[in-house]
Amino acid sequence: MFKGERVNLRPMKREDIELAVRYQADEDITNNYFMGMNLFPTRDMLEKWYGYMSEDQEGFNFAIENKAGLYIGSCNVMMLNWKNRTTYFAVYIGNPDYRSKGYGTEALKLFLNFLFNELGLRKVKLNVFTFNARAVRCYEKCGFKVDGINKKELYRNGEYHDNMAMSITKEEFERGNQ
């Protein structure tokens, strides 16, 4: 377990699925988190996902919990590239009572510390919809910089929206934490 001041990161457990189904049905998550359809996954889908990922040695899927042990969100490695030592990731704070209160930033810093100082990665990358100002702000607070804009990448509600690429290197992360 990786311990912060207000949150811990621990491996996902089967018991988390019930709350994950509820969290991922929230519009705030479906609108901002999913690149495909903004439809929520069903319990069956999340159980299948849990099955694959619990057998995947390189899955690195963490539950974010508060200090009382309540599961409030998740962060997951995606498209880990050992040769280039880079990865993408996904993060959400599923419990609405815990959004915009600094929990996401603290969890992400713990996660970045794991990626750089346990997995030995060199660079961490992400894509975020430009309309998701809260997530962009959270990423900036963690030290991510904008690499560029993929114009009109996402089709949502009858319109195309831009998607922003951001990244942080290990050196940038360490400088930000001195």
Ligand X SMILES: CC(C)(COP(=O)(O)OP(=O)(O)OC[C@H]1O[C@@H](n2cnc3c(N)ncnc32)[C@H](O)[C@@H]1OP(=O)(O)O)[C@@H](O)C(=O)NCCC(=O)NCCS
The rounded distance, in Å, linking the Cα atoms of 6 and 12 is 18
Which residue's CB is nearer to ligand X, number 32 or number 169?
A: 32
Stretch that binds ligand X, among 2-10, 42-50, 53-61, 94-102 (CB under 6 A): 94-102
Tokens 């949150």 sit on residue: 7
The rounded distance, in Å, linking the Cα atoms of 132 and 81 is 26
Q: Is 170 exposed, middle or buried (0-12, 13-18, 19+ CB in 10 A)?
A: middle
The region that residue 168 occupies, defined by phi over 0 for left and psi between -120 and 50 for alpha, beta otherwise, is beta
The rounded distance, in Å, linking the Cα atoms of 78 and 165 is 15
Nearest to 111 by CA among 70, 71, 61, 147: 61
Which residue's CB is nearer to ligand X, number 120 or number 133?
A: 133
Which residue's CB is nearer to ligand X, number 59 or number 104?
A: 104
Stretch that binds ligand X, among 80-88, 92-100, 160-168, 170-178 (CB under 6 A): 92-100
Instruction: Tell whether residue 33 is a contact of ligand X (CB under 6 A).
Output: yes
Binding test (CB under 6 A) with ligand X, winner from 66, 76, 86, 105: 105
Instruction: Tell whether residue 156 is a contact of ligand X (CB under 6 A).
Output: no
Binding test (CB under 6 A) with ligand X, winner from 7, 12, 29, 112: 29
Using CB under 6 A as the binding rule, the residues of this chain from 113 to 132 that contact ligand X are: 128, 132
Binding test (CB under 6 A) with ligand X, winner from 20, 21, 93, 124: 93
Instruction: Tell whether residue 30 is a contact of ligand X (CB under 6 A).
Output: no
